Structure 1
Amino acid sequence: MNPSLIFGYFLFQALFTGAVQALLDKEDLVILDFDVHRVDNLVSERFLSVTIDASLVAEEKFMHLLGSPKLRALANALSPAFLRFGGTTQDFMKFSPQSEYLLSWNNSRNSLRYQGHSCDTSELPPLLEDKLKQEWALQAQLLHQQELQDKYKKVKFSEDAVDLLYSFANCSGLDLIFGLNALLRTPGNTWDSQNAEMLMNYCESRRYIISWELGNEPNSYEKKAGIRVDGHQLGQDFLHLRSILQESKLYHSAGLYGPDVGQLREHRKDILTEFLETAADAIDATTWHHYYVNGRDATLKDFLDPQVLDTLAVKTNEVLEVVRSVSPEKKVWLGETSSAYGGGAAGLSDTFVAGFMWLDKLGLAAQLGLNVVMRQVLIGSGSYHLVDNNLDPLPDYWLSVLYKRLVGPEVLKIEVLWTSVPQQLLRVYLHCTNRNSSSYRQGAVTLFALNLSKRPIGIGLPACISNSSAEAFVLQSAEPGEEGLYSRVVELNGAPLKMLDERTLPPLSGAHVPPGEHLQMPGLSLAFYVLQQARAAVC
């Protein structure tokens, strides 16, 4: 007999005996089923990756923030990961060796010159860090205003900026992807590669291991710069870049990713299709960008709306359909993504409530077949950053670290057999547990979930693993009720999360759940549950 029918029969009996009804009087209930015998999908070990917006180099002195020991400790906890340096500003940047301007403090330029491979000697002195953080808070506001007004200034950057960026990535265990300016064009509207070649020659002379992108959101070139580049020409530009890389001893097999197109609507689908028809062989993965809502008018309700969260699946499937029709074997990445475009939604994208969009995106993207997801931004202007202007971690940072530690690349199938929870208010995902960054035994699985309901939910596990003990990592706002959703402080199992000192993260320990008990998930919470005795053969 079908196991689901057997289960339904016994559940029906339990309801009439009052066993389940007694539980429902206290909390909602969800019964799950797992398939731990096969891997449904496999993502990159760098699946959760991060970006630094190129606007950080609008004034080069702020690149020295990347020498902060605190920021490097925070970044290191997210490795392994890619670090993308790009965004709108990248298409207004120009490499200018031997910069003519001086730093704004009274230290000699040479005394602060970093070697990109150096870690011990490249730390930012505390007094300079404090000064830069104060000035960056004002700079971030200015940059955000310029973004809202669609103002784009040309930016020059020197060898110092490149050294600082590479040192940060290298010393934090991150793999750097550098976004080149695609709006440097010839009179014939082809990409002018001279400046990029000058930059790559410098990087090669320093033995910097870097992957590359060319351009950011080509669908908006006309709006940003009055230049229209169709998908075919964009593909030709990438083929040209690939030929340059192949001539390099260091970069002949370097990663190249693109075209970083926005969500598919209107002519963007044509750009992506024509690009792949022309240059699919030139790239290692197809990249596109996704945001749920407009940061200028987003509401708290948007961040908790299952229908808004479901739009990711719609947009992802549109991209996958194009890629599979033209280049079926090509990996697909979310090359830039967060909650709200336009720099984020102030007071929402940098608070606890943003975690619902972020955790669901990680779960759903892996389930749908995306290979890498790059979070905009680790540090930068706007309000969707993981680390604030004082270099203190925000709620989404802690969520990201827990994901890194507990969730492996193997995606497993999970389904809801029965629920008393309406409208998809509990969203659940299942992976093998990450064995590379944890001490969990082989065969362990990690269930992670978001409860969009205000009521607590009990989660019943399949009979085959119901006797497994579990470790629970439950994230809640540090403040009660709906107002707590706006908090910038998050609690793990009831204890507020904060760094122990400028270089040390807290231990992030789980709470023991005895075998046979339902997993308990409070209202408006996020959680990871490591099922240690799941004995999943594929894990």
Structure 2
Amino acid sequence: MIVKTIKQNEFYLLRSIRLKTLVSFCFAIVFFTIFIDIVNQPKSGSSFYLNLTEVKSHIVDEKFLSLGLDTSVVASNFKGFNFTSPKLKSLISNLSPCYFRVGGNLADMLHFSVNGTDYRTREISYNAQNYTDFNMTATEWTNLNKFVSDVKVNLIFDLNALRRLQNGAWDSSNAKDLIKFSSDNDFKLYWELGNEPNSFYHKFNRSVNASQLGRDFVELRKILDQYETYKSSYLVGPDVTRPRTKDISMYLEKFLRAGARVLNAITWHHYYFNGRTATPEQFLDPETFDLLKIHIKRVLKVTRSLKLDDKPLWLGETATAWGGGARGLSDRFIASFIWLDKLGLSAKMGVSVVMRQSIFHEHYALLNDDYDPNPNYWVSILYKRLVGRTVITSQNDKNIEVRLYAHCAKKSSFNGTRPALVVFGVNVSPTEAIVKIGGVTSDPLVDSFELTSDSLFSRTVLLNGKPLLLASNHSLPDFKPKVIDLLMGDIVMPKYSCCFWIFRNVNVAACGTN
């Protein structure tokens, strides 16, 4: 029954994408028409050009692909998140180095209870959402810090910004308790204050003025500087939502005018659509992918107007769909394309860090409730293994269904000492694509890593035709490429695929020391 449902979903998706203008006479005729169309349709062509004359290339943070854990997991007393699980530790440590942000809507309802004090004083019901103040105990905080140390990731913790004094300023008393306790225990971590403060009224029926929040960040920096442990600790923010309206851009601007001087990075959040109403077509629509480009440009407009080019730009929380993702979509292969494209497009446009929400819990998680990898985990692992920090300026042709990006390859991804380039991206077309790469010379043998699946709605990912599975000891499989000889023909990109190609001995000066 499950197989039948998946196949039917994929059939209807293909019909909507390829044959929207055809009239359906009966199920059998339509299916036959689609099958013949896909099989007999010639391969599409896609050209990809590299600009090797660029003197200055964008270099992303070494922790570019980072992770998030939603604060709702803390509110549940870490239900299902086993700090001692060897499997969980192994899978997260394989994504190191990375930042590990603990944040989300409930960050602004969290109170640190060091001596058993019960801070559960508020219950807010607004816009059909129920929020309740909750306690995080010293034991839970200690366990979390030990865990991130064990898996070698850098914790970023989002402090409660809705604790307010009568004059509207931030009540830092509870944060001071947490910071002192952390310093006394020599916990190494970075800090945020508030989650999506521009939407506080929408969520909590309360507002925090943007300029006031900026001043609150200045106050937090002063508190951190009182501790030797945290004098050099990052402070990042303000974690506003995607700038879909002018009001959101104005909130960001007012905050930065008041608080930018104490920030180590400017953070904002990005999702494409509502997980509760998402459709399969949205996950494959290049126009949806390009919403990110629009929103990055709006953030850059604000930061450049304030001459803040020296402040790194981070996607402080992001995935496919808000609201925990889309059931039956965000945790399936169909969500792989929009995720890999986000990584490529973000780096190309100057974003330094992308924090994936979430490693665990909800539909958009990289790991399911049993800590088994969802498809986006495999995409993330390959990205971590193959893609280096230096972005190479590139341009796709007008084939909008094939979207490619280029970086210098990680040295660990290939054998040899010569410079190497990785070209990666997605084909969201139901047909193969011939890829021609211009502007670069290389050795004729190319390592190819092709991620596909038997169904867009499957949780199983194939690497060069073979399923990716964990070993019995929870270790990752070998990621073996297939070798393409460019002297024998062009690169053929499979339909509905995510691909990475390693080109060795390239004439790309920026990759000489990558």
Question: With structure 1 as the length reference, what TM-score do the two structures score?
Answer: 0.82
Partner of 1:474: 450
Question: Displacement, 1:253?
Answer: 1.5
Letter of the 1:29 counterpart = G
Whether contact under 8 Å (1:37, 1:537) holds in the other structure is no
Question: Displacement, 1:510?
Answer: 1.0
Letter of the 2:103 counterpart = G
Distance 1:440 1:258, change over 3 A: farther
Are 2:364 and 1:377 aligned? no
Are 2:144 and 1:165 aligned? yes
Partner of 2:160: 181
Question: Displacement, 1:526?
Answer: 0.6
- Structure 2: gaps of 5 or more residues: 1-39, 119-124
Partner of 2:344: 363
CA distance in 2 between counterparts of 1:37 and 1:226 reads 52
Are 2:8 and 1:27 aligned? no
Whether contact under 8 Å (2:50, 2:440) holds in the other structure is no
For 1:458, what is the secondary structure of its paired residue? strand
Are 2:61 and 1:44 aligned? yes
CA distance in 2 between counterparts of 1:356 and 1:452 reads 7
Q: Which moved more, 1:366-375 or 1:159-168?
A: 159-168
Say which of 356, 369, 374 aligns to 1:389. Answer: 369
CA distance in 2 between counterparts of 1:279 and 1:464 reads 44
Say which of 482, 503, 510 aligns to 2:481. Answer: 510
Q: Deviations over 1:64-91 (max 9, x none)?
A: 5132111111111111110000111110
Partner of 1:489: 460
For 2:129, what is the secondary structure of its paired residue? coil
CA distance in 1 between counterparts of 2:291 and 2:81 reads 38
Question: Displacement, 1:163?
Answer: 1.6
- Structure 1: gaps of 5 or more residues: 1-23, 102-145
Question: Displacement, 1:225?
Answer: 2.4
Partner of 2:492: 520
Letter of the 1:332 counterpart = L
CA distance in 2 between counterparts of 1:392 and 1:149 reads 32
CA distance in 1 between counterparts of 2:380 and 2:434 reads 24
Whether contact under 8 Å (2:443, 2:504) holds in the other structure is no
Matching of residues 375-454 of structure 1 within 5 Å: 375-380=356-361, 382-416=362-396, 421=399, 424-435=400-411, 439=415, 441-454=417-430
Whether contact under 8 Å (1:350, 1:385) holds in the other structure is yes
CA distance in 2 between counterparts of 1:467 and 1:436 reads 18
Whether contact under 8 Å (2:110, 2:134) holds in the other structure is yes
Letter of the 2:497 counterpart = S
Are 2:218 and 1:239 aligned? yes
Matching of residues 321-340 of structure 1 within 5 Å: 321-326=301-306, 327-340=308-321
Distance 1:160 1:440, change over 3 A: farther
CA distance in 2 between counterparts of 1:303 and 1:463 reads 31
For 1:538, what is the secondary structure of its paired residue? helix
Question: Displacement, 1:439?
Answer: 4.3
Say which of 493, 513, 529 aligns to 2:501. Answer: 529
CA distance in 2 between counterparts of 1:84 and 1:147 reads 26
CA distance in 1 between counterparts of 2:264 and 2:126 reads 30
Distance 1:301 1:236, change over 3 A: same
Whether contact under 8 Å (1:58, 1:155) holds in the other structure is yes
Q: Deviations over 1:474-495 (max 9, x none)?
A: 0011x2xxxx111111111111
Question: Displacement, 1:396?
Answer: 0.1
Whether contact under 8 Å (2:240, 2:269) holds in the other structure is yes
CA distance in 1 between counterparts of 2:223 and 2:314 reads 24
Matching of residues 87-166 of structure 1 within 5 Å: 87-99=104-116, 149-166=128-145
For 2:271, what is the secondary structure of its paired residue? strand
Partner of 1:190: 169
Q: Which moved more, 1:326-335 or 1:295-304?
A: 326-335
CA distance in 2 between counterparts of 1:175 and 1:473 reads 29
For 1:44, what is the secondary structure of its paired residue? coil
Q: Deviations over 1:123-150 (max 9, x none)?
A: xxxxxxxxxxxxxxxxxxxxxxx99942
Question: Displacement, 1:59?
Answer: 2.6
Question: With structure 2 as the length reference, what TM-score do the two structures score?
Answer: 0.86
Whether contact under 8 Å (1:99, 1:157) holds in the other structure is no
CA distance in 2 between counterparts of 1:197 and 1:440 reads 51
Say which of 161, 183, 189 aligns to 1:210. Answer: 189
For 1:302, what is the secondary structure of its paired residue? helix
Letter of the 2:213 counterpart = L
Q: Deviations over 1:381-400 (max 9, x none)?
A: x2100000111000000000
Partner of 1:221: 200
Distance 1:168 1:538, change over 3 A: same
Question: How many pairs were matched up?
Answer: 462
Whether contact under 8 Å (2:442, 2:503) holds in the other structure is no
Letter of the 2:108 counterpart = D
Whether contact under 8 Å (1:339, 1:384) holds in the other structure is yes
Say which of 201, 205, 228 aligns to 2:180. Answer: 201
Letter of the 2:255 counterpart = F
Say which of 266, 281, 284 aligns to 1:304. Answer: 284
Q: Which moved more, 1:408-417 or 1:303-312?
A: 408-417
